[in-house]
């Protein structure tokens, strides 16, 4: 049966409405994809820094979370709630929330990176508190045995220092740092200080992982350090912090 003019007009109007909706959906999908691309790169950078933090956290190396990271989570949660209620690109772009979120993600990425690097480098003092090769050299009698022991210590110390130039990518990297510190402590025990026994005991303890307790800083040790101009080379640090 041939459709009447009114029927054909109605069908055409409905088709036009459908086409308009399809066009609107395409535009909306395009707008949402633009927002997704805009945030994806930033979120990826932040995620990479959080992955590095997770490696330290797993090894019980504390990383202080920056305030900017908390701000990102708060704003993202707020925007997500609004978007769930009205799933349109315009919802996310309304006001300054979206622009602020992008800026906060960039800031959080930088601050998390700084916090992770600071925590890793601070861990070095916890792993090994012994003297630098330069500080040890002047205290050693120049015997063949001491020279060989010093070469070993110097090489290990350089490796340990270099290990903290880059962040660990896995727990194995942290284990290797611990192994280097243990090797350094063993190497330090090979030094033969041509000094009184109390001074020798103090200097060997200083080179250990835990450092020297105050009980080893006897008057004789103090006088020897003062006479050799070494008092300024040492500081007292609480082990409870």
144 and 215 housed in the same domain: yes
Q: 176: which residues sit within 8 A by CB, 6+ positions away?
A: 163
Which domain-ending residue is among 92, 108, 125?
A: 125
Whether 241 is covered by a domain: the verdict is no
20 and 98 housed in the same domain: yes
What pLDDT score was predicted for residue 5?
44
Percent of the chain with pLDDT over 70: 86
Tally of structural domains, the chain: 2
Encode pLDDT of 105-153 as tens digits: 899 999 999 999 999 988 888 888 888 898 888 777 656 777 889 999 9
Encode pLDDT of 172-198 as tens digits: 899 999 999 999 989 988 887 777 788
Whether 59 is covered by a domain: the verdict is yes
Gyration radius from the chain CA atoms: 32
Whether 197 is covered by a domain: the verdict is yes
The token pair at 95 is 């006001």
Highest mean pLDDT among 20-29, 37-46, 180-189: 180-189
pLDDT band for position 9 (50/70/90)?
very low
Best CA proximity match to 190, nearest among 122, 141, 226, 132: 141
3-state secondary structure of 71: helix
240 phi, psi to nearest 5 deg: -90, 0
Percent of the chain with pLDDT over 90: 22
What pLDDT score was predicted for residue 120?
92
Domain region containing 90: 13-125
27 and 121 housed in the same domain: yes
- 123: which DSSP letter? H
């Amino acid at each position: 049966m041939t459709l009447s003019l009114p029927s054909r007009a109605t069908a055409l109007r409905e088709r036009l409405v459908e086409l308009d909706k399809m066009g609107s959906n395409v535009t909306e999908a395009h707008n949402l994809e633009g927002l997704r691309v805009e945030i994806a790169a930033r979120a990826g950078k932040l995620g990479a820094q959080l992955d590095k933090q997770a490696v330290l956290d797993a090894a019980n190396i504390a990383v202080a979370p920056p305030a900017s990271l908390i701000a990102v989570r708060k704003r993202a949660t707020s925007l997500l709630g609004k978007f769930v209620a009205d799933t349109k690109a315009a919802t996310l772009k309304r006001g300054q929330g979206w622009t602020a979120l992008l800026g906060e993600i960039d800031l959080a990425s930088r601050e998390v990176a700084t916090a992770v690097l600071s925590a890793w480098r601070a861990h070095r003092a916890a792993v090994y508190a012994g003297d630098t090769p330069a500080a040890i050299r002047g205290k050693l009698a120049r015997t063949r045995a001491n020279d060989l022991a010093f070469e070993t210590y110097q090489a290990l110390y350089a490796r340990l220092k270099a290990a903290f130039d880059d962040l660990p990518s896995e727990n194995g990297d942290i284990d290797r740092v611990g192994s280097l510190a243990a090797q350094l402590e063993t190497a330090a025990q090979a030094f033969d200080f041509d000094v009184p026994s109390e001074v020798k005991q103090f200097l060997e303890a200083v080179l250990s992982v835990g450092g020297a307790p105050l009980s080893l800083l006897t008057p004789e040790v103090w006088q020897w350090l003062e006479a050799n101009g070494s008092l300024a080379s040492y500081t007292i640090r609480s082990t409870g912090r």
